Amino acid sequence: MNKISADQLAKRACVYIRQSTPGQVQNNLESQRLQYALVDRARQLGWAEVDVVDEDLGCTASGIHRPGFERMLGSVCEGKIGAIFSIEASRLARTGREWHTLLEFCGVVGVLLIDADGIYDPRQINDRLVLGMKGTISEMEVATFRQRAQSALEQKAKRGELFRRVAIGYVRSGKDRIEKDPDERVRSAINLVFSKFTELRLLGVCIAGYVNSRFNFRQRSRARESRGRFRGAHRVIIHC
């Protein structure tokens, strides 16, 4: 049975394109080509006007603000779209709330959802069941990815190899090693903080004296350097 009606063909087709991270946008070019190729499929199915929504390239679909998705959803509610093309359900949404919101609006207005596997009409019970399962699977994939990542971090921490942030006054010297900062200004500033704290035993007075001394800590985090005075001295005392 042909699910595409003349009324739907008279409206625009929307091709929604998304990749989760900037790294995927730069490196996973084949995925982009597959998604942009949906424009040709829309024209083959009979749509003369095709709108490409690719503002969300580099954005995750796990509940954050997505201008492209919101624009598409607005066009659906206005009755301007006859079908939404996406390479798979996970491109459209990774949360059950967004997925089912999209299904509800498409069902009310009569918008088809078309992916690499088939054509779905949210107004039909069987199609709605399949779409619901696709959304659930997409959401569970994210939960599985996060669980695996957390387990890997915990295993690395148990081996003593997890370095999320290097303490002030130290630098990474290798894959799993840290050493004192070779900069004598940094070492002198840290020694000053500890000597004042040992002498006065008052963190507030120690930090005030440190700030007045016009020393700066240099905290290296990856390729960036940030300078802090009050917070820097405070972290040195409480973390060492």
For 108-133, the DSSP string reads HHT-EEE-SS-EE-TTSHHHHHHHHH
For residue 117, the one-letter residue type is: D
Range from 114-123, 165-174, 180-189 carrying the lowest mean pLDDT: 165-174
Q: Which pLDDT band, with edges at 50, 70 and 90, does 225 fall under?
A: very low
Element of type H or E holding 79: none
Of 5, 20, 151, 221, catalytic: 20
Q: Which pLDDT band, with edges at 50, 70 and 90, does 182 fall under?
A: confident
Q: What is the dihedral of CA 153, 157, 160, 165, to 10 degrees?
A: 70
> What is the C-alpha end-to-end distance of the chain, expressed in Å?
71
Task: Return the beta strands (E) in the chain as ranges.
Answer: 12-16, 50-53, 81-85, 112-114, 119-120, 170-172, 178-180, 217-221, 224-228
pLDDT > 70 in the chain, percent: 78
Write b or e for each residue in 176-196: b if 16 or more Cβ atoms lie within 10 A of its Cβ, otherwise e. eeeeebeeeebeebbebbeeb
DSSP letters for 157-174: HHTT---SSPPTTEEE-S
Pair 69, 16: CB distance under 8 Å: yes
Task: Kindly list the distances between the CA atom of residue 73 and the CA atoms of 29, 84, 113, 121, 171, in Å, as whole numbers in the listed order.
Answer: 26, 10, 13, 16, 48
Averaged pLDDT for residues 230-240: 54
Give the residue with greater pLDDT, 171 vs 124. 124
CA distance 185 to 190: 9
Give the residue with greater pLDDT, 104 vs 150. 104
* Backbone torsions φ then ψ of 221, nearest 5 degrees: -135, 105
Q: Within a 10 A sphere around the Cβ of 127, how many other Cβ atoms?
A: 19
Q: State the chain's mean pLDDT as an integer.
A: 79
For residue 40, the model assigns a pLDDT of: 94
Residue 20 annotated as catalytic? yes
Give the residue with greater pLDDT, 69 vs 171. 69
Tens digits of per-residue pLDDT, 13-44? Answer: 999 998 888 888 888 888 889 999 999 999 99
Range from 67-76, 80-89, 147-156, 177-186 carrying the lowest mean pLDDT: 177-186
Is the pLDDT reported for residue 222 higher than 70? no
In Å, the largest CA–CA distance within the chain is 86
Is the pLDDT reported for residue 139 higher than 70? yes
* Backbone torsions φ then ψ of 10, nearest 5 degrees: -75, -20
Number of residues assigned to the chain: 240
For residue 159, the model assigns a pLDDT of: 79
Averaged pLDDT for residues 171-198: 75
For residue 19, the model assigns a pLDDT of: 87
Averaged pLDDT for residues 187-208: 67
For residue 238, the model assigns a pLDDT of: 53
DSSP state of 40: H
